[in-house]
Structure 1
Amino acid sequence: MSARMTSLESLTRTTSLDHLQTTAKSDGCATSSSCGSPFQPDDVNSAVWEKIKDHPCYSEEAHHYFARMHVAVAPACNIQCHYCNRKFDCANESRPGVVSEKLAPDQALRKVIAVANEVPQLSVLGIAGPGDACYDWRKTKETCERVAKEIPDIKLCISTNGLALAEHVDELAEMNVDHVTITINMVDPEIGAKIYPWIFHDHRRYTGIEAAKILHKRQMLGLEMLTERGILTKINSVMIPGVNDEHLIEVNKWVKERGAFLHNVMPLISDPAHGTHYGLTGQRGPRAIELKALRNSLEGGPRLMRHCRQCRADAVGLLGEDRGREFTLDQVPGEITYDARKREAYRVVVAREQGDYITAKNDAIGMIKDAGSGRSLLVAVATKGGGRINEHFGHAKEFQVYEASAMGVKFVEHRKVEQYCLGGWGEETTLERVLAMLEGIDILLCAKIGDCPKHQLSEAGLRITDAFGYHYIETAISTLYAAEFGAKPLPTRASASHPTETRS
């Protein structure tokens, strides 16, 4: 069958360096990543912008184009969380703390080089366990130093529970680690005692409220120290209904006062099969509509991260995808040399694509604001990245949700779903579960959908269309908004810039 694919999509699916370099030259740019770079937001200064513009976690725009990689070098942990069980691993599972193989620092370096040579989108290396990066510090530090020496332009990140963070802030600053994620689920020790059964601190195990008090104090100290040194911090919080859901409003205030750059509120994952305390005791996770309501209540605090995928501790690739199985140790050469040319060529091409996308996005948002309607539209999108509607309904493992309103078009969240089409066939029970995850959605956009699921979804009351396949997301949404509420639609020129025909 035939399908349209943008030049950027085609580019990232090739392993040919010649193809990358030819495409970069055809864009009329030198090898500098500044050519055609997207517009800097008004509320972000130049120093911060340089740190986040190609970081897929810290920039919503960047996550369409740039990839992250986690290396599992830090298995030891100093706290126990009721939502965590690091022993469980399924190759198809996406959950923090899960890995298929643990690495020594030298193995991690080989793997990073292999990925950097083959995945031109790679911009960030993170150490997110599977234990705690600051507690298992020797391995974390050695890995960061080795990678920074070999690939100096890669951004380094760590994730931590914060208990041992203060001890290593100076070293993080010396190693030019610009981004740190701290998981903070409470500022009230009584609530903390319901989440953490124990911690290990100063060669001693603490439990209950005493443990939560120590953890809270250490987390706040670490956050304050990072802010003083100009290191950007992202706060992860797990939303646990009936435990800390309402309390996260207070957490948001505390971390804002201490300089957090981003706050990421994630849903509790509590499948009994994972063997966690919450999973085995029946603690439910939040419904998508509950998570959206909580995030909306946090507007005005630190910037909200809404595009998190709760990645594995060995994830590789764009957010929403995991190519880790392509780079297991048995597939990585024993001797390998870093070649920067592919990543450099990719940055030239993506700079132009980002500029085109942001221009189209700003036009679309302006048109909706000009409409003057007080109405809103919640739209789910099947996408593989690049800011376009470019995923088949049956292949989607998640939908990105956008809200169009008088304020423009904003990304709201992503909702994970089971893949409907497997081996060319779709399961009716799977379709029912997909429909349940689309609660509250007005319209679903995808690149293509079969007649059968389209009819069944329509029968259930969900509007769905593939008429905007491979167009920019915001442009398609603004056109729908115009048709819905009587605004003047945009010309189709901005919808599908630079499409090329390919066969698949």
Structure 2
Amino acid sequence: MNQPVMISLESLAKPIDVEALKAAANSGGCSSSSCGSSAKPEDMDADVWERIKDHPCYSEEAHHYFARMHVAVAPACNIQCNYCNRKYDCANESRPGVVSEKLTPDQAKRKVITVANEVPQLSVLGIAGPGDACYDWKKTKATFSEIARDIPDIKLCISTNGLALPDHVDELAEMNVDHVTITINMVDPEIGAKIYPWIYYQHKRWTGIEAATILHERQMLGLEMLTARGILTKINSVMIPGVNDEHLIEVNRWVKERGAFLHNVMPLISDPAHGTHYGLTGQRGPTAMELKALQDKLDGGAKLMRHCRQCRADAVGLLGEDRGQEFTLDQLPEEVAYDPAKRTAYREVVAKERGDHVEAKKAAVASVKDAAVEGGNLLVAVATKGGGRVNEHFGHAKEFQVYEATPKGITFVGHRKVENYCMGGFGEDATLDGIIAALEGIDLVLCSKIGDCPKDMLTEAGIDATDSHAFEYIESAIGAVYGERFGTELEVEVA
């Protein structure tokens, strides 16, 4: 009888060993179709789970294990947003619409095959601009046609503003594109007129409320058409304080009624250096706690996505990381053939790990519920490299994933981006001040290692930090500290 594949805690904190993956796949490890199914939420249809279980943007659980890739083949756009400027680019910036290189469909194909051969976590290919995937349709369609022929096991999805979407829903369905993201920031044209200076529709430029009305009607039509064809739809909304923040409650209601699968509320990124209208006019973005408060108000409406990283239009890698600079055109081989071995091996290994993780999470959530006391809420920031583990050094973290433990259980509620504290082995006090500011409202930080100096400074700021749960599953670690905080010892088994 074949032995199950085992993954050590330490291995998840290191780069993937491809040869080890191949060996695991050849050793008779469990198949992704069987073991991976154990992660299915009890309230989700099996068919839907099968479509999202390896999609990092549609499944919070999957984002710990699987990577996405965006190819920048669609530069043309048919609307202008006050928060967008596609001309600005910085290799270290994560912002929708930003790219370092625009690709032809042939170049995109070569890049995707190269990435698929080198990044075994890759499961999804998306086209998110840098303009609009539906408006620049010929390039979008040509790219998907090439990729689907050569890499049939990769999921295809697009992001669009929705203006041209109704014209292409039939073709999307024919190409088996079953994940579409629409950015919908308003359902009231008067509010829309404050967000969109103009749109280009039917060979004419429209402005003001008239433009916003056309955009709204086309977005709703496109969403309804996608729902009718069984295509899963995620709605992105940018939270703009004083413009549409409270209005997004109404947006959430509208998109739920029309069958949206997920609603992702993102903070406005507003920096004068980006050259956007909002950045240049001083429109601020929301604080992390303001964003969380709005998301909490939306609970009970359309299902929320809280793990979005507002990716670049040429992003590569796990959410929270971007390996795009490793795969620029000048680094790609001229001739490349797709080899599925690494991705197949990775899926087989991860299937077992996901099953173990789900069981550990269930045990941790049950323990928190058993130990819950009135007012027993804990907001926890976790330094992680992925795999659902506490496996990142505090000083190396570029972001913290945020979880909330309450009498109802343990839930993922967002993330906080930060600058690295450790630079060349030394900590920068100014950077630590920025990290502390970014951790507003956080009660506890979990990481694999932290020095005495940053730990003491966090304590002075009212934030506890510990590395005593290094390499444990995140939920198991949170369950343990919840018990410690509220006076109950929780015995949570860690794989």
Q: Is the 8 A contact 2:159 2:181 kept in 1?
A: yes
Amino acid at match of 2:456: H
Q: Is the 8 A contact 1:53 1:62 kept in 2?
A: yes
Alpha-carbon distance, 1:379 to partner: 0.6
Equivalent residue for 2:16, pick from 10, 13, 28: 13
Counterpart in 2 of 1:127? 127
**Deviation string, structure 1 residues 280-323 (Cα, Å, up to 9, x no partner):** 00000000000000000001111100000000000000000000
Alpha-carbon distance change, 277 to 234 in structure 1, aligned in 2, over 3 angstroms? same
Q: Is the 8 A contact 2:455 2:465 kept in 1?
A: yes
Alpha-carbon distance, 1:451 to partner: 1.7
Q: Is the 8 A contact 1:368 1:405 kept in 2?
A: yes
Q: How many residues align?
A: 487
Task: Report matched runs for 1:243-258 at 5 Å.
Answer: 243-258=243-258
Alpha-carbon distance, 1:189 to partner: 0.4
Q: Which runs of 5+ in 1 are unaligned?
A: 498-504
Alpha-carbon distance, 1:207 to partner: 0.4
Amino acid at match of 1:262: L
SS at match of 1:458: helix
Counterpart in 2 of 1:150? 150
Alpha-carbon distance, 1:5 to partner: 4.9
SS at match of 2:153: coil
Counterpart in 2 of 1:390? 391
Distance 1:373 1:417 in 2: 32
Counterpart in 2 of 1:500? none
Identity %: 73
Counterpart in 2 of 1:235? 235
SS at match of 1:236: strand
Counterpart in 1 of 2:294? 294
**Deviation string, structure 1 residues 372-413 (Cα, Å, up to 9, x no partner):** 422111111111111101111111111111000111100010
Distance 2:161 2:121 in 1: 28
Counterpart in 2 of 1:502? none
Alpha-carbon distance change, 31 to 443 in structure 1, aligned in 2, over 3 angstroms? closer
Alpha-carbon distance, 1:442 to partner: 0.7
Distance 1:400 1:21 in 2: 30
Counterpart in 1 of 2:62? 62
Task: Report matched runs for 1:36-51 at 5 Å.
Answer: 36-51=36-51
Distance 1:5 1:330 in 2: 36
Counterpart in 2 of 1:431? 432
Counterpart in 1 of 2:170? 170
SS at match of 1:194: coil
Distance 1:110 1:135 in 2: 23
SS at match of 1:294: helix
Amino acid at match of 2:181: T
Q: Is the 8 A contact 1:37 1:352 kept in 2?
A: no
Q: Is the 8 A contact 1:29 1:35 kept in 2?
A: no
Alpha-carbon distance, 1:24 to partner: 3.0
Q: Is the 8 A contact 1:98 1:312 kept in 2?
A: yes
**Deviation string, structure 1 residues 177-222 (Cα, Å, up to 9, x no partner):** 0100000000000000000000000000000111000000000000
Distance 1:472 1:270 in 2: 35
Distance 1:71 1:436 in 2: 34
Q: Is the 8 A contact 2:25 2:344 kept in 1?
A: no
Task: Report matched runs for 1:417-456 at 5 Å.
Answer: 417-456=418-457
Distance 2:171 2:48 in 1: 20
Amino acid at match of 2:465: I
Distance 2:10 2:261 in 1: 33
Distance 1:31 1:372 in 2: 37
Distance 1:487 1:175 in 2: 54
SS at match of 1:320: coil
Between stretches 410-419 and 368-377, larger displacement belongs to 368-377
Alpha-carbon distance, 1:486 to partner: 2.5
Counterpart in 2 of 1:378? 379
Distance 2:335 2:303 in 1: 42
**Deviation string, structure 1 residues 242-286 (Cα, Å, up to 9, x no partner):** 000000000000000000000000000001110000000000000
Task: Report matched runs for 1:473-492 at 5 Å.
Answer: 473-491=474-492
Q: Is the 8 A contact 1:31 1:344 kept in 2?
A: no
Distance 2:151 2:454 in 1: 46
Distance 1:400 1:39 in 2: 20
Distance 2:39 2:426 in 1: 43
**Deviation string, structure 1 residues 82-113 (Cα, Å, up to 9, x no partner):** 00000000010000000000000000000000
Task: Report matched runs for 1:89-128 at 5 Å.
Answer: 89-128=89-128
SS at match of 1:264: strand
SS at match of 1:74: coil
Alpha-carbon distance, 1:352 to partner: 0.4
Between stretches 219-228 and 450-459, larger displacement belongs to 450-459
Alpha-carbon distance, 1:49 to partner: 0.8
Alpha-carbon distance, 1:31 to partner: 5.2
Q: Is the 8 A contact 1:368 1:487 kept in 2?
A: no
SS at match of 1:109: helix
Distance 2:218 2:259 in 1: 16
Alpha-carbon distance, 1:488 to partner: 3.8
Q: Is the 8 A contact 2:368 2:482 kept in 1?
A: yes
Distance 2:468 2:139 in 1: 51
Amino acid at match of 2:354: Q
Amino acid at match of 2:394: F
Q: Is the 8 A contact 1:58 1:305 kept in 2?
A: yes
* RMSD value, Cα: 1.3
Counterpart in 2 of 1:362? 362
TM-score (norm 2): 0.96
SS at match of 1:38: helix
Distance 2:260 2:223 in 1: 7
Q: Is the 8 A contact 1:393 1:446 kept in 2?
A: yes
Moved runs in structure 1, 4+ residues, more than 6 A? none
Q: Is the 8 A contact 2:95 2:311 kept in 1?
A: yes
Between stretches 446-455 and 318-327, larger displacement belongs to 446-455
Alpha-carbon distance, 1:25 to partner: 4.1
Alpha-carbon distance, 1:487 to partner: 2.9
Alpha-carbon distance, 1:7 to partner: 3.4
Alpha-carbon distance, 1:6 to partner: 3.2
Distance 1:39 1:348 in 2: 14
Task: Report matched runs for 1:131-210 at 5 Å.
Answer: 131-210=131-210
Distance 2:440 2:119 in 1: 35
Alpha-carbon distance, 1:19 to partner: 2.1
Q: Is the 8 A contact 1:399 1:416 kept in 2?
A: yes
Q: Which runs of 5+ in 2 are unaligned?
A: 1-7
Counterpart in 2 of 1:465? 466
